[in-house]
Structure 1
């Protein structure tokens, strides 16, 4: 029997995704920083830890944080630690893009002090949004990104899994190449 994580992976990308996602080892933070410096491109970040639950409560409304599943105290602390790590590593992304969900925007604001909404990063969980169009928008931006550019995309598990076939934990970062392939994964925190 599949647990919730395995089921979500299977539903997002098939049975091969389940085994492939566990094959990718965590990259130590210092190595992740060095890889990003060399490769540039995108660090795709799943929002930090949230209040308990899956998805959003009934009555969810985009733009109204009180109707959403939000960051927990632990998630706010994780986000701040991510920001300290970026400063310590002297990494300065050219852009920080975020899903319009409050838990993503708050992660970005607490970690990087800024966030630009990008609807392509919005959740497609449980049939929300337009999964195929959003994935294509992300892939197009990756392919068109100048080699020298560094961006952070704060988003949801479903989007990260759609691009890479791997399942991220809360607050986990994926370093992507220009085709959306997973180069490295790990935690960014001080």
Structure 2
């Protein structure tokens, strides 16, 4: 449509006025879809990055009363479907030739079991991947945990094979801005702080139900549908608004461009 002579002339005049350029850029940037990755793309895209993976399917939400981190029997654990999902994830990653320099996991048993069943390398527990979905003592303190994780991410070698981190919904969301279902992943670049969601071929359970005692930013959304996010810029990630909102914003930007163009005629 940019090849239409009349429209091209209007755009040129509008951009020459200054304000129209910003309107156009704003409209296009808001209208662009999220740029995701297929699993097959990862070997070529993942060097120097971190694959943040939410643990495989574990029925329920949060952890039961009497939770103890050193006793798996007191925790919410993977079900049969979740164990099969974890094995399949590992098989698919090996099939595409994906290799990791390190495999880290939250100390929660559902994360450790996911990482072990994936069989992508020796699993190292990492406290910084712990869940703050619920406040201590059932969860870890949010801000110190995220600070430790960000420090670890900053130490990632940009020339090395990627790292795999098996963690929780709240951790992935806090670092990347993406809401992920069980077994879903986001590729994070520590240098640019940008994120791209990865299609793992799994059907996740979406966001966990709201916790009654959360610390920090609050409970995850209660919807079972995965919230679509936009690639995060360098800085804090942000939710992608619904499609209708994007359309309205894009139309608003284009309208601003049209008015600024008319003002120059």
With the length of structure 2 as denominator, give the TM-score of the two structures: 0.58
| Number of equivalences | 165
Q: Who is 1:142 aligned against? A: 153
Residue 30 of structure 1: SS of its match in structure 2? helix
Offset, 1:163:
0.7
Pair member with larger Rg: 2
Residue 183 of structure 1: SS of its match in structure 2? strand
Offset, 1:87:
1.5
Q: Which has the higher helix share?
A: 1
The equivalences for 1:109-124 within 5 A come to: 109-112=116-119, 114-124=122-132
Measured against aligned partners, the alpha-carbon deviations of 1:70-115 in whole angstroms (never above 9, x if no partner) come to: 0011111111111111221222211100000000000000002531
The separation in 2 between residues aligned to 1:181 and 1:33, in whole angstroms, is: 18
Could you list the runs of 5+ residues in structure 2 that have no partner in the other structure? 1-29, 203-265
Q: Who is 2:141 aligned against? A: 130
The separation in 2 between residues aligned to 1:178 and 1:90, in whole angstroms, is: 22
Residue 169 of structure 1: SS of its match in structure 2? coil
On the 8 A contact 2:106/2:167 being kept in 1, the answer is: yes
On the 8 A contact 1:97/1:151 being kept in 2, the answer is: yes
Residue 170 of structure 2: SS of its match in structure 1? helix
The separation in 2 between residues aligned to 1:130 and 1:24, in whole angstroms, is: 31
With the length of structure 1 as denominator, give the TM-score of the two structures: 0.79
On the 8 A contact 1:25/1:185 being kept in 2, the answer is: no
The separation in 1 between residues aligned to 2:173 and 2:101, in whole angstroms, is: 24
Residue 125 of structure 1: SS of its match in structure 2? coil
The separation in 1 between residues aligned to 2:64 and 2:43, in whole angstroms, is: 36
Q: Who is 2:200 aligned against? A: 187
Alignment counterpart, residue 29 of structure 1, candidates 24, 39, 42: 39
What RMSD over aligned residues (CA atoms) do the two structures have, in Å?
2.0
**Higher RCO, Cα 8 Å, sep 6+:** 1
Could you list the runs of 5+ residues in structure 1 that have no partner in the other structure? 1-19
On the 8 A contact 1:142/1:178 being kept in 2, the answer is: yes
Determine if the alignment matches structure 1 residue 68 to structure 2 residue 75. Answer: yes
Q: Who is 1:11 aligned against? A: none
The separation in 2 between residues aligned to 1:188 and 1:91, in whole angstroms, is: 15
Residue 75 of structure 1: SS of its match in structure 2? helix
Q: Who is 1:17 aligned against? A: none
On the 8 A contact 2:35/2:196 being kept in 1, the answer is: no
Residues 146, 26 of structure 1: CA spacing in aligned structure 2 closer, same or farther, 3 A cutoff?
closer
